[in-house]
Amino acid sequence: MRKKAQKIPALLGENGFAYSYSIKAETIALSLEKQFSLNDLSHRQTENEVKKSTENFSSLPLTNNQIDNLKCIQPSEVIKVIKNLNIKKSCGLDCITNKMLKNLPCTMIFEFTEIINNIFKFNYFPKAWKTAVVVSILKPGKDPTQPENYRPISLLSTLSKLTENFILDKLNEHLAENKILCPEQFGFRKSLTTTHQLLRVVEYITSFFEKGECTGAVFLDVQNAFDRVWIQGLSINVSDTKPHPIYCSF
């Protein structure tokens, strides 16, 4: 059975309580805008240099050598990903569900495979696929009248998410082949979890304990790390690894 839609009560915004659906939506939108606003970087020259470098890299046309070295996605790979899709997942603005994708005829699979390959070939990701339907979910145990207590769930196009699988695979291949990630990084890596990281730390502490030595540790928790990440700064770090330009333009 599907869960009942969560009803959002009156929200306390900057101008008092919001009661209508439209004003509630605007109140949450304003709250999210503040939440996702970048912190002041306080160095305009660095910002401008990074912005220029990122734009130059993402706008570079692919060389013939890069195009020749691109490994084309095969229809069989697309079919394999589609088979593993969860039909219970919500769709995006285009209303194309995973169940629809699972029932696509072979001709459409071939056409969609061609689209994915052209995304890499022409270094262009459809802007429409970046537009999401945002659903606000109340955080557990939080006051429902405060707009900042709602977590935004972005529902992207299923075609976009399907394509992301191949972008991620190619990015991981690039990182692995060039040994870019340090062995100590466990986050967002296949077959590695926080449990593995904890085991590594425990082993490290134990080895020094057995020698009668102490171990110091510094733990850093960055508030709203993903909400306020400097996208252009992140992109320039990625471009330094010399990947396919699509990774930065995406």
Look-up of token digits 């009803």: 7
Query: With bands split at pLDDT 50, 70 and 90, how would you rate the model's confidence at 15?
Result: confident
The model's pTM is 0.76
Query: Which tokens in the block code for residue 237?
Result: 């770090």
Segment holding 154, helix H or strand E:
strand 150-155
Q: Which of 28-37, 79-88, 128-137, 233-242 has the lowest mean pLDDT?
A: 233-242
Query: With bands split at pLDDT 50, 70 and 90, how would you rate the model's confidence at 212?
Result: very high
Identify the pLDDT of residue 66. 59
**pLDDT greater at residue 6 or residue 33:** 33
Identify the pLDDT of residue 116. 94
> What dihedral angle (degrees, nearest 10) is formed by the CA atoms of 227, 229, 231, 235?
-140
Q: How many CB atoms lie within 10 A of CB 166?
A: 18
Q: How far apart are CA 109 and CA 103, in angstroms?
A: 10
Percent of the chain with pLDDT over 90: 46
Segment holding 166, helix H or strand E:
helix 158-177
> DSSP class of residue 91?
-
Whether 1 has a pLDDT exceeding 60, the answer reads no
Query: What number is the average pLDDT over the span 163-190?
Result: 86
Look-up of token digits 């009560």: 9
pLDDT digits (tens, 9 = 90+) for 219-231: 888 777 777 788 7
Q: How far apart are CA 26 and CA 13, in angstroms?
A: 9
Identify the pLDDT of residue 63. 61
Domain assignments of the chain as residue spans, ordered by start: 1-36+70-180, 182-219
Residue (of 185, 58, 52) closest to 122 by Cα position = 58
Query: With bands split at pLDDT 50, 70 and 90, how would you rate the model's confidence at 67?
Result: low
Q: How far apart are CA 230 and CA 72, in angstroms?
A: 31
Cβ 250 vs Cβ 120: under 8 Å = no
